[in-house]
Amino acid sequence: LYDFYEELRNTDELFWDRHLSAWIATGHGVVSSATGNPALSSVRYPDLDAVSEELRPLARVLSRQMLYSDAPDHSRLRGLISKAFSPRAVETLRARILEAVDRIIDEAAPTGRMDIVAELARPLPLTIICDLLDVPQEDRPALTAWSEPIAEAMGNSRLDADRNREASQSMADMLAYFRGLLTGPETPPAPDSLRALVTAQAESTDQDPDELLANCALLLIAGHETTTHFIGNATLALLRHPHAAEQLRKRPDLLPAAVEELLRYDAPVQLMLRRARHDLDLAGRSIAEGQTVLLVCGAANRDPAVFPDPHVLDFERPGGRHMSFGHGPHFCLGAALARLEGTIVLEALLTRLPDLSLDTTEPLKWQRSLNFRGLTRLDVAFT
Ligand code: HEM
């Protein structure tokens, strides 16, 4: 993948691809400037009538999420829940994350084997986001089942009609569930919890409840698949670079830098999509109104102009800002949470399972997706 990106970037860091009917941006400079360019819109479905009938119900909900909105709607929607994701608010989750990671490792320990994706990377982010939203334990499997087809449809614009229909239905089910949770007779939410914040917003007369529910669903989907892939990709990178893992064991002070470098090295989200609001000039190219621009964060992260020796995993790499959480107004709202989860997982794996190794009896399998990059399983062994 990364060799392919390099070839593309060496040809041109912004070019028109006639098969995809889109501009492809691979240079770090273009990707970072495009994310803050107000002439490039994040609205994914500018004309809902043009969307296929099966996908339309899902597209209608997605259009109300901050991720697919522009200012001023975007800042208003982000403002509704951003308080719950500040680094300070997220820090209060540390003990909960530590406890969840320890429990997962305790359960796997006697067997000496583990599928990191199925047993750790997949359940952990969901547990934390469900804890935040105060979702009862027994309802969590249903939320996982709904979020998978939705994430699949968000990551692949060429799904067949049945899969799109399933994704639309899953979104309807998820919204109905959140509606019940916020207005239902369950125990009141803990003060200062995200559910308390959302419930208070839902009770406010000038807030459209459907808009709020759509953004609750976004938290679940955006916070789940991405962090799962981060944990899987980062663990794989450490298993393939035992010297780097050893360095971290000796120098735990490098852990925050290692988390950033692992995010750069193999980004869980490879692409961001924008559409030209009007004709514009971008890096010397003329982009016409309505044209799509794909910002390839995975390629920007390996741009040698910003990251010398970009294919080397280097925890002491100076400067350079990776694009894995995006940039500009849509910069990932859950970045602090994802960083905390990643740090705790890596620390636990390095210290509790120091001889962790890749179980090569099972071949690596990558998820088929245009914008998400992650493993479907990662088998490891340890004593
Ligand atoms: C936005 C990546 C974890 C919630 C984004 C964007 C990226 C991203 C690239 C920008 C998309 C764009 O500009 O088009 C990631 C990665 C994660 C992660 C790589 C894990 C390592 C999380 C978590 C949450 C979350 C844990 C919440 C619980 C969001 C939200 C947005 C967003 C709500 C939309 C922000 C906006 O539109 O203003 N994320 N994310 N993400 N992320 Fe994350």
Q: DSSP string of 259-295?
A: HHHHHHHT-SB-EEEEEESS-EEETTEEEPTT-EEEE
The pLDDT tens digits for 246-268 are 999 999 999 999 999 999 999 99
- Residue nearest to ligand 1 atom 4, measured at CA: 334
For residue 360, how far is its CA from the centre of ligand 1 (angstroms)? 32
Q: Give the list of residues 6+ apart from residue 303 with CB closer than 8 angstroms, or none.
A: 9, 13, 26, 27, 28, 29, 310
Q: Exposed, middle or buried by CB within 10 Å (0-12, 13-18, 19+), for 11? A: exposed
CATH label of the domain that carries residue 270: 1.10.630.10
Nearest-angstrom CA–CA distance, 148 and 225 = 8
Find the residues whose C-beta lies inside 6 A of ligand 1.
35, 42, 66-67, 78, 129, 218-219, 222-223, 226-227, 230, 268-269, 272, 324-326, 330, 332-334, 337-338
Q: Whose alpha carbon is nearest atom 5 of ligand 1?
A: 332
Mean pLDDT of 159-181: 91
Q: Alpha-carbon dihedral of residues 352, 358, 362, 366, nearest 10 degrees?
A: 90
Neighbour-count burial of 213, counting CB atoms closer than 10 A to its CB (0-12 exposed, 13-18 middle, 19+ buried):
buried
Ligand 1: which residue has its CA nearest to atom 42?
332
Centre of ligand 1 to C-alpha 365, Å, is 24
Atom of ligand 1 nearest to the CA of 295: 14
Residue 239 near residue 262, CB atoms below 8 Å: no
Per the structure, how many domains does the chain have? 1
Looking at the predicted structure, is the pLDDT value of residue 171 above 90?
yes
Average pLDDT of 335-344?
97
Nearest CA to ligand 1 atom 21: 227
- pLDDT band at residue 196 under the 50/70/90 scheme: confident
Q: What is the mean pLDDT of the chain?
A: 92
Tell me what pLDDT residue 80 has: 86
Tokens of 297: 């964060």
- Span 43-56, pLDDT tens digits: 998 899 999 999 99
**Is pLDDT above 80 for 339?**
yes
Residue with tokens 């860091």: 13
Across 288-310, average pLDDT? 97
Ligand 1 atom 25 nearest Cα: 334
Q: Which atom of ligand 1 approaches the CA of 125 most closely?
A: 26
pLDDT score of 173 more than 80: yes
Kindly tell me the burial class for residue 266, based on how many C-beta atoms sit within 10 Å of its own C-beta (0-12, 13-18, 19 or more): buried
Is the pLDDT at 200 greater than 70? The verdict is: yes
The protein residue whose alpha carbon is closest to atom 39 in ligand 1 is 332
The pLDDT of 368-374, averaged and rounded, is 87
pLDDT reading at 23 higher than 70: yes
Q: Residues 159, 152: contact at Cβ < 8 Å? A: yes
Domain coverage including residue 295: 2-381
Site to probe by mutation for ligand 1, drawn from 41, 325, 337 as the one with most ligand atoms within 8 Å of Cβ, is 325
Q: How confident is the model at residue 185 (pLDDT cuts 50, 70, 90)?
A: low
Mutate-to-test residue for ligand 1 from 226, 272, 293, highest number of ligand atoms within 8 A of CB? 226
Instruction: Identify the pLDDT of residue 186.
Output: 67
| pLDDT band per the 50, 70, 90 thresholds, residue 333 | very high
Ligand 1 atom closest to Cα of residue 67? 37
In this structure, which residue's CA is closest to atom 1 in ligand 1?
332
pLDDT confidence bin for 2, thresholds 50/70/90: very high
Tokens of 16: 């028109």
Give the closest residue (by CA) to ligand 1 atom 6: 332
pTM of the model: 0.95
Q: Across residues 179-199, what is the average pLDDT?
A: 75
Q: Is the pLDDT at 226 greater than 90, yes or no?
A: yes
Q: For position 204, what pLDDT does the model report? A: 72
Neighbours of 298 (CB within 10 A): 24
Per cent of the chain over pLDDT 70 is: 98
Cα-Cα-Cα-Cα dihedral sign, residues 98, 104, 110, 113: negative
What does DSSP say about strands 365-366 and 357-358: parallel, antiparallel, or unpaired? unpaired
Tell me the mean pLDDT in the region 292-308.
97
Average pLDDT over residues 288-314: 97
- What separation in Å is there between the alpha carbon of 26 and the centre of ligand 1? 20
Q: Ligand 1: which atom is nearest the Cα of residue 273?
A: 14
For residue 89, the model assigns a pLDDT of 85
* Ligand 1 atom 36, closest CA: 330
Give 128's pLDDT tier (boundaries 50, 70, 90).
very high
| Side-chain half-sphere exposure of 9, counting CA atoms within 13 A | 24
